[in-house]
Amino acid sequence: MANDQQVVGDANRRPDYDHSNNANQASTAPAFFSCWDIHAYYGESYIVQGVSFNIHEGEILALLGRNGAGKTSTLRAIARTGSPMVTQGEIWLDHQPLHNMKSHEAAQNGLALVPEDRRIIQGLTVEENLKLAQIAPPLGWSLERVYELFPRLKERRTQEGTTLSGGEQQMLSIARALVRDIKVLLLDEPYEGLAPVIVDEIEKTLNIIKAQGITTVLVEQNAIRALELADRAVILDTGTVVYDGSAQEVLENEELRHEYLAI
């Protein structure tokens, strides 16, 4: 087992302190982003059952698991969407307690969720979708910078957003997050329904975003692609963490992949 693999279900290790970086700061530096013992319900259904993990700044974390494992619910719990209802747990982003915030406050503090359905606003052009995202401060990337990253969006700036191809809509939904000042990008199945060549393009942009210091949580059914891109992986099963460690280790561990990812 890799040294950086957290033993699953290790309730004694509270993950809001980063033990892995600079030895001088090891016991005192809070992790950049941490979820600690998150529990969440849809009505009576207990879905997120004590999820904990840390993310280092600038990392890409693949959040994986079979269908129904609780990946989307975990992202929604982190983004404070209100559904599922979080009943317990702490979420810290850059020293800010997101668990005490509503979704718009979490967004103002640098959290961006790009949901699976992408939520492109009907009746608005590409550029209008981007400008609408810029209405509330704090602002992030300029339109020029976004268009540099996504030349296709520039070409199609006057086209209605909902008429874009699936890949272009995914680019627009990521671009819409970037025009706000974000620290953590939560992506729910960004590769879904896209041809491999478009997945290549999205992957490239995620690497560029990473190089800018933005931290990403990537939920993907296409686990191999996600693991190849990610630094670390967390695997969920029935709403609990069953693996927390290096992405490479998951790629190399057939048993683990087979048991929890069915690949």
What is the rounded distance in angstroms from the CA atom of residue 174 to the CA atom of residue 187?
8
70 binds ligand ATP (CB under 6 A): yes
Separation of alpha carbons 140 and 132, rounded Å: 13
Residue 97 burial by CB count (10 A; 0-12/13-18/19+): exposed, middle or buried?
A: exposed
The stretch among 15-23, 66-74, 173-181, 193-201 that binds ligand ATP (CB under 6 A) is 66-74
Q: Which of residues 214-243 bind ligand ATP (CB under 6 A)?
A: 221
* Residue 170 interacting with Mg ion (CB under 5 A): no
Determine the length of the chain: 263
- The string of DSSP letters for 187-254 reads EESTTTT--HHHHHHHHHHHHHHHHTT-EEEEE-S-HHHHHHH-SEEEEEETTEEEEEEEHHHHHH-H
The residue range among 12-20, 64-72, 177-185, 191-199 that interacts with Mg ion, by the rule CB under 5 A, is 64-72
Query: Which parts of 180-209 interact with Mg ion (CB under 5 A)?
Result: none
Query: Stretches 20-28, 71-79, 95-103, 196-204: which one binds ligand ATP (CB under 6 A)?
Result: 71-79
Strand pairing class (85-93; 96-97): antiparallel
Least Å distance, CB 218 to Mg ion, is 12
Q: Does 73 bind Mg ion (CB under 5 A)?
A: no
In the complex, the smallest distance separating the C-beta of residue 9 from ligand ATP, rounded to whole angstroms, is 19
CA of residue 36 relative to chain centroid, distance: 16
Q: Which of 59, 220 has the CB closer to Mg ion?
A: 220
When the beta carbons of 80 and 156 are compared against Mg ion, the nearer one is: 80
How far apart (Å, rounded) are the C-alpha atoms in residues 257 and 205? 26
| Euclidean distance between CA atoms 215 and 183, whole angstroms | 6
Number of residues that bind ligand ATP (CB under 6 A): 12
In the bound state with ligand ATP, the residue whose beta carbon lies nearer, of 70 and 110, is 70
Identity of the residue, 205 or 221, whose beta carbon is nearer to ligand ATP in the bound complex: 221
Please give the residues from 6 up to 45 whose contact with ligand ATP meets the rule CB under 6 A: 42, 45
Distance CA 6, CA 194 (A): 33
With respect to ligand ATP, which residue has the nearer C-beta, 47 or 185?
47
Instruction: Check residue 65 for interaction with ligand ATP (CB under 6 A).
Output: yes
If binding is defined by CB under 5 A, does position 72 make contact with Mg ion?
yes
Beta bridge partners of 237: 240
Contact set for ligand ATP, span 44-63 (CB under 6 A) = 45, 47
Q: Which residues contact 211 (CB under 8 A, 6 or more apart)?
A: none
Query: Which residues in this chain contact ligand ATP in the complex, by CB under 6 A?
Result: 42, 45, 47, 65, 67-73, 221
Query: Which residues in this chain contact Mg ion in the complex, by CB under 5 A?
Result: 71-72
